Structure 1
Amino acid sequence: MNVRHQFQQDKSIKELFENHFDKDTYADEKLLFLVDLIHVIRPKKPKEIQQVSLIDFINFLKDNPVYISLFRNYFKTIVNKNKFSRLLTDSGILNDNHFVTEIKKRIFDKFLPFQPEKGTLQFVLNQVFYLSTDPIWINKIPYNEIVIVYELLGFKDIYGNIKEETPFSEIILAMQILAQRMSGRALENDVIKMVPEYSNFESPFLGFEKELNHLEHIIRTNNYHYINSSELVYKQLLLLHKQCDDFVDKAFLNSSKYGISLTVNQSLLRIRQQLVRIKELLPLIVVEIEEDKVRNSTLILLKLIRYNCYKNNIRKLFLESTQLISYEITQHTAKSGQKYITDGYKEYFTMFYKAIGGGFIVGFLCLFKLLFSKVDTSAFGHAFLYSFNYAFGFILIFLLGYTLATKQPAMTAATIAQTLEEGMKNKNQANDKHKSFAKLFARIFRTQFIAFVGNVLFAFPVSLLLIWFLDFLLGTNLAEAKAEKLISDLSPIHSLALLHAAIAGVFLFLSGIISGNISNRNKHYQVAYRIQENPFLKQTFGIQKTKSISNWVNENWAGVVSNLWFGIFLGSTASLGIFFGLNLDIRHITFASGNFALGLYGSHFTINFWSFFWSIIGIGLIGFINFIVSFTLSMLLAFRSRNIPLSELHLLNKSIFNYFKKAPLNFFFPLKDKVI
């Protein structure tokens, strides 16, 4: 790794100065000189450089003092307006947009950036420091070298003038605008609802705004235009700023009680970003010693460069905006996931019986889909019929308390992440948390195993019995025409069964997200309480009946909607594939088992050995892909929502493998654990 960056670009500093000031080659576009100068200084790989030195540039100016005065006059010609308050108030801070609108805006600005008025400092920054990596190498320039350049070029500190559109006036104006925006947003009903603890107190944001206006009056009326950190007004500002921070933290913390919408989440994030920006600007009004004037004057320029470079950061926006929502979603699935983790034999076989019920219903769904496939209709018609079939069956399984094995991974992954988070917080058990996780995973795996067994073992005979009964009743083997396709679609080497199983895994993951999102929204909008206290419903059904309806919605609505959409996803995929000309479909282990039974009966049980062999292997692999895709996506989301490093996955996998070597049967049966 290079310790110090040397200027090695095509043009030297000397050539640039000679071409501009002696030959005037930049007469048409004077800003190009500064662009080329920064290009000479800018390292090609800023992340690999430990230090970027300006010593060559400094020595050149000292050796050629005539260029110093020329450069000073040049800078005045390209920056004749000091308006940059908009850069301080807007760059890198969420706009008053919905999440999707903000994403689209930033993508558009990324490819076609906003260009301010010529002659302003922001226009110069846009043209010169246009790379997102510029703040990286600028931060690696030694501070003493920045001060030398500052003094050589004759820049004045920002405290000499506080008139309108001067640098210091722009800083004060920016803080006032930010404070006003925060106050307005924090007083909105949806935000206040998140922090009922503050309902009997004056808003700290209003207090902060008033104190900031008082500070501005002091600065504008004194002779030196700055304050000391020991002054009461500054201490009061810091105290009120801390109270505003606590307000936002409490609102986010209360999301577990009241739920949170994406709009409220964006509002709170916007307030938090504005608080951070003000906290970064407040020290600029403080001067303890004379050297602070130069330090603050150079610091504001570096901040402006950084803000301008990061103003269209899409990745940061996406991560910040989705973290809390994903946390609330996975919080719901983590609670639901507890019932999918068995411990002793009683719970183990209870899950088996529930899986039998799920397999029994899927057997009917397999037959109904076969019958619907014979309906002469369009691709959309088949999508509707298949979706109705799947959705109705999944909702029925859910309401009857049965289980579909592949629905479990999305729920149990969140439970693992939640338990891991608690283990990371508990320092006393930090060394044992991975061992505990291995045992937890073994419980989850054997629960999945017995659920798979129950689903598959009953979907097969139920489908076989139903198709035989129709043949007996109607005298026609309805599966005969599609027998070959039903068998070949299960083969992992003769079809895209594994890809289609992965698609089903993605849909399983999405259905878990939908369930958590609906639960979060119901909590945020108090849906159950609104139903319970609805005067029309109480008059129509009575108080107790209305309360029962409210409880049912609170307990079941998220699951109903989730299963509805899961059915729509599965039922419409093949039709979408036809529309786009792609070989798209889904494979689900329980349906694969039922379809195998239909294929066997349709072929009169005359398939060859290899077809039988690859069908059995295919069913097992389909189940594994269903599980691993859904579980992995859900785990990544759960880890992201709780800020758990992905390095924990490696440690967890290692612990699971070691535990499996010591007690492999515990991954399949609830044996007594003798391994510590």
Structure 2
Amino acid sequence: MEITSELQQHPDTSHIRHLQALVAAIRPRHARDIAHATDNIRALCFVLQQHPVWRRALLQYLVQVLTSRKLLHLLTDTGITLNNGFWGAATQRLLSQCLPPLVNDDYVKDIFGQIFNKADDHVWINGVSDHVWMDLLANIGLRTVTARQTHHALSNEVLSAIQVLSYRITTIGLEAELVRNYPDIEKFESPFLRQNDEINDYVLRYRAWLNDRQLRRDDSLHIDVLLSQCDEIVSKIRKTAAANGVSVSLTRLLLRLTQSMSRLRKLLALLDAGQRDRISRTAIQLFKELVTAENRRHSLRDLIQTNTELLSLQVTERAGKSGEHYVTGNRGEWLGMFRSAMGAGFIVGFMAMIKVLMSKMALAPFGYAVLYSLNYSSGFMLVHVLHFTIATKQPAMTAALIARAIDQGKQKLDELADLIVAVFRSQLIAIIGNIALALPTAYAIAWAWYGITGSHLAPPEKAQHLLHDLDPFGSLALPHAAIAGVCLFVSGLISGYYDNKASYAHIPARLRQLPWLRKCLGEARLHAVTHYIGNNLGALAGNFFFGIMLGTIGQLGVFFGLPVDIRHITFSSANFAFALVGLEHQISWQLALYSLSGILLIGLVNLGVSFSLALLVALRSRRVSFGQGGTLLGLLWQRFRSDSRAFFLPPPDAVSPQQTDDDRHPSSDTRH
């Protein structure tokens, strides 16, 4: 090979261009072509076996590249979350796309990204088996005298990296954010402090052993015990955060802490590996991890995923807990859901009337957006305060419930099918309840308006427009219904976020500390109000912002000249009643049936989009995938054929799959 031949002529060079060329020669044309990459590595092994002079030249070159530069920062920084916060890291990654950072040739960390400079290098490097990489290390000359002489210098670099990681773990373990969530850290001897003492002793003994091999070298088993205790504390903090809420800063600290402990364990394993094969395997695993981290170092998508994973988990976890109350298990709960949905339908009838009246005003798009938003938000919040149920608010909650069932090991197909059947019939009866009272309420309002004023609430022109908005194929009703589904999904996330915020920020307790509020309400009423806010802040905020989204999206479309709007099944049914009265029933039965079909399709799109998005986020936040979807669908179809009644009516004595004996009768105030 030309590269090894050139290295033979210049044995003392440490320039990375030769290493870049060597990696480029091994790199396959397509990153997923693992077989080609494997063949290239084996071909290199064969060449080195046939030319011992080239093998010695390559080994000397690699030793020169590593020992002439600082290895420390590659081991301690690459793959570890930065300490500059999410927005600082995001800004840095965006700027690096336009202006790459300065490369310092004195650090292996900087040249590492130049050697593996393709964003998909980690694909083929991780794809090649460890045995192939171990063969390459052996053929380069890992067991030679030169390599053993290099071991001393590299071991000192690894020991320095271990100390840096240990100090970092100690610092993070004493952060006020962690102490706040686990106060026992201050009461007892902290393992975060003890592991640092043990690491320092370990490093001293190991360096002494490097200088005098006659000395006894201790292993790191006792350090691993302390790190396991640190893991237990991290696990307890996560559980506390699940109950008391979590912040972005806590998420970042826990992520940085777990990454540092994981890297520390790998470096300790590298030093403690007594046999050459164990050293090679450990080094290869670390090498693959470093290449992956380097390739993703400037990825904004990866930053968002790693920083929001725990936060999204807590948000969807709370949504999942709320979802339990949207699943009816017996006939009493099922009828209760129907009555609750009917109450919401009654209120929606008046909300639809108010919107029609507002649309008759001569206002700019901003004015319409404000009025529509106030109407929607106040109405949805009133629905929640009165313990009623909007059917389309259910999917974001029940999707997280299903994801939690899969994650908790309850993914046995029979149990999961039972849960999905219960969710289906619960949402179906809620939709029926909404429409069952929204449509007659709107119909009665329209005739009452005509009787009082002598004019229709929706004149013939307006009525024709309302009917056109229900046309599933002759208008943009279904795309607009999909937009409403996205709004429903976002409102579910907002609800989870504010529920988390209320717990983590101790909002009820802080409100009770306000002297002026205590003076205005009195002690007993203050406690009741703050308790209600603590339990319902998420639902109120979700409904408020959902109303804002529904009220503004259509007007943004008008302002920007874009065909965007929203369609919601319950409001669509009310609008159909207004149109029916406005045209004084002068429509064909075919048009009426077609419009009703449009309403049902709008509802299906509302529910389908919001449920799909919520389930996707819930599964991704838990790093869970469900690969038995086809089998599950087949099982559900068999159940529908054998017992279709269960999809629509619950057995009288059935129990919800997600409820215990203590919560079979949840209070209605938690159903939204």
Q: TM-score surpassing 0.5?
A: yes
Whether the aligned pair in 2 keeps the contact of 1:116 and 1:122 (CA below 8 Å) is no
For residues 399-444 of structure 1, the C-alpha deviation after alignment (integer angstroms, 9 at most, x for no partner) is 01111111112222223333444453xxxxx7xx422333333332
1:566 Cα offset (Å): 0.6
Q: Counterparts in 2 of 1:116-135, with a 5 A limit?
A: 116-130=103-117, 131-135=121-125
Q: What amino acid is the match of 1:369?
A: K
The question of 1:436 aligning with 2:415 is answered: yes
What is the RMSD of the two structures over their aligned residues, measured on CA atoms?
Answer: 3.3
Aligned to 1:558: 538
TM-score by length of 1: 0.86
1:236 corresponding residue in structure 2 = 222
Is the contact made by 1:93 and 1:311 (CA closer than 8 Å) also made in structure 2? no
Amino acid at match of 1:394: F
Residue 361 of structure 1: which of 343, 347, 369 is its match? 347
Residues 236-284 of structure 1: CA deviation (Å, up to 9, x unaligned): 3222222222221221122222221122011101100000011111123
Return closer, same or farther for 1:648/1:252 CA change in 2, 3 Å cut-off: farther
Partner of 1:527: 507
* Alignment equivalent of 1:330, drawn from 292, 300, 316: 316
- Alignment of structure 1 residues 457-468 onto 2, 5 Å: 457-468=436-447
Query: CA–CA distance in 2 between the matches of 1:260 and 1:85?
Result: 33
Pick closer, same or farther for the CA change 1:587–1:310 going to 2, 3 Å. Answer: closer
| Partner residue, 1:84 | 71
* Equivalent residue, structure 1, for 2:328: 342
Distance apart, 1:486 and its partner CA: 0.6
Distance 1:445 1:158, change over 3 A: farther
What are the within-5 Å matches in structure 2 for residues 56-455 of structure 1? 56-61=43-48, 67=54, 81-106=68-93, 108-109=95-96, 114-130=101-117, 131-136=121-126, 139-140=129-130, 141-151=132-142, 155-157=146-148, 161=152, 166-224=153-211, 231=218, 234-286=220-272, 288=274, 305=291, 307-312=293-298, 317-424=303-410, 433-455=412-434
| 2:391 and 2:430 in contact (8 A); partners too | yes
Tell me which residue corresponds to 2:599.
619
Percent of residue pairs bearing the same amino acid type: 32
Give deviations 1:359-387, integer Å, cap 9, x for gaps.
11111111111111122221111111111
The Cα of 1:121 is off from its aligned counterpart by 2.8
Aligned pair in 2 of structure 1 residues 560, 400: CA closer, same or farther (>3 Å)?
A: same
User: Aligned letter for 2:532?
Assistant: W
Q: Which amino acid aligns with 1:479?
A: A
Distance of 1:285 and 1:225 partners within structure 2: 16
Q: Which residue of 1 aligns with 2:26?
A: 41
| Residues 345, 436 of structure 2: 8 Å contact kept | yes
The Cα of 1:507 is off from its aligned counterpart by 1.1
Q: Which moved more, 1:360-369 or 1:314-323?
A: 314-323
| 8 Å contact kept, 1:394–1:564 | yes
Residue correspondence of structure 1 range 11-30 to structure 2 within 5 A: 13-14=1-2, 16=3
Q: Is the 8 A contact 1:158 1:293 kept in 2?
A: no
Mapped to 2, the partners of 1:573 and 1:529 lie a distance apart of 36
Equivalent-residue separation in structure 2 for 1:228 and 1:356 (angstroms): 82
Distance 1:652 1:103, change over 3 A: farther
Counterpart amino acid of 1:559?
A
Q: Retained in 1: the 8 A contact 2:56–2:141?
A: no
Paired residue type of 1:156 = A
- 1:427: which partner in 2? none
Report the CA distance between 1:346 and its aligned residue. 2.5
Compare 145-154 and 214-223 and name the one that shifted more: 145-154
2:665 is matched with none
Deviation at 1:594, TM superposition (A): 0.7
Q: Could you tell which deviates more after superposition, 330-339 or 536-545? A: 536-545
Q: After superposition, where does 1:461-476 map in structure 2 within 5 Å?
A: 461-476=440-455
Partner of 1:578: 558
User: What is the Cα deviation at residue 465 of structure 1?
Assistant: 2.3
> Helix, strand or coil: the match of 2:29?
coil
Aligned partners of 2:344 and 2:388 also within 8 Å? yes
- Partners of 1:298 and 1:31 lie apart in 2 by 20
Greater shift in the superposed pair: 54-63 or 517-526: 54-63
Q: CA deviation at 1:334?
A: 2.3
Structure 1 CA distance, aligned partners of 2:285 and 2:196?
24
* Cα distance in 1 between the residues matched to 2:425 and 2:216: 62
Out of 461, 477, 484, the position equivalent to 2:456 is 477
Q: Which amino acid aligns with 1:246?
A: E
SS at match of 1:529: helix
* Cα distance between partner residues in 1 of 2:495 and 2:238: 21
Larger mean Cα displacement after TM superposition, 550-559 or 488-497 = 550-559
Q: Would you say the 8 A contact 2:133–2:284 is kept in 1?
A: no
Question: Is this contact kept in 1: 2:34–2:124, CA < 8 A?
Answer: no
Q: Which runs of 5+ in 1 are unaligned?
A: 1-12, 425-429
CA contact (8 A) 1:176 1:212 kept: yes
What is residue 664 of structure 2 aligned with on the other side? Answer: none
Change in CA separation of 1:395 and 1:29 when aligned onto 2, cut-off 3 Å: same
Deviation at 1:548, TM superposition (A): 0.9
Deviation at 1:622, TM superposition (A): 0.7
Q: CA distance change for structure 1 residues 293 and 20 in 2, over 3 Å: closer, same or farther?
A: closer
CA distance in 1, matches of 2:584, 2:538: 43
How far 1:67 moved relative to its partner?
Answer: 4.8
CA distance in 2, matches of 1:606, 1:225: 102
CA distance in 2, matches of 1:588, 1:134: 48
* C-alpha displacement of 1:636: 2.2
Describe the shift of the 1:187–1:536 C-alpha distance in structure 2 as closer, same or farther (beyond 3 A): farther
Is the Cα–Cα contact under 8 Å of residues 315 and 496 in structure 2 kept in the other structure?
yes
CA distance in 2, matches of 1:226, 1:511: 65
The TM-score normalised by the length of structure 2 is 0.87
Kindly provide the CA deviation profile for residues 625-666 of structure 1, in whole angstroms up to 9, marking residues without a partner as x.
111111222222333344442224444333222211111122
- Cα distance per residue 1:454-508 (max 9 Å; x no partner): 2112212222222333333333334114222111010111101111111111111
Question: For the residues of structure 1 that align with 2:358 and 2:463, how far apart are their CA atoms?
Answer: 15
Aligned residues between the structures = 645
2:663 is matched with: none
* Bigger Cα displacement from structure 2, 196-205 vs 656-665: 196-205
Q: What amino acid is the match of 1:196?
A: P
Q: Following the alignment from structure 1 to structure 2, what is the Cα–Cα distance between the partners of residues 557 and 151?
A: 62
Q: Secondary structure at the match of 1:476?
A: coil
**In structure 2, distance between residues paired with 1:626 and 1:244:** 45
2-side partners of 1:81 and 1:484: how far apart?
Answer: 80
Native 8 Å contact 1:228 1:286 kept in 2: no
Cα distance in 2, alignment partners of residues 298 and 443 from structure 1? 49
Q: In structure 2, how many angstroms separate the alpha carbons of the residues matched to 1:544 and 1:461?
A: 41
**1:326 to 1:347, Cα distance in 2 relative to 1, 3 A:** same
Letter matched to residue 444 of structure 1 = V
Cα gap change, 1:337 to 1:105, in 2 (>3 Å): same
Inter-partner Cα distance in structure 1 for 2:123 and 2:539: 46
Matches of 1:120 and 1:637, distance apart in 2: 39
Separation (CA, whole Å) in 2 of partners of 1:651 and 1:562: 35
- After superposing the two structures, state which structure 1 stretch, 589-598 or 456-465, moved more: 456-465
Inter-partner Cα distance in structure 2 for 1:632 and 1:282: 44
How many angstroms apart in 1 are the aligned matches of 2:296 and 2:556?
39
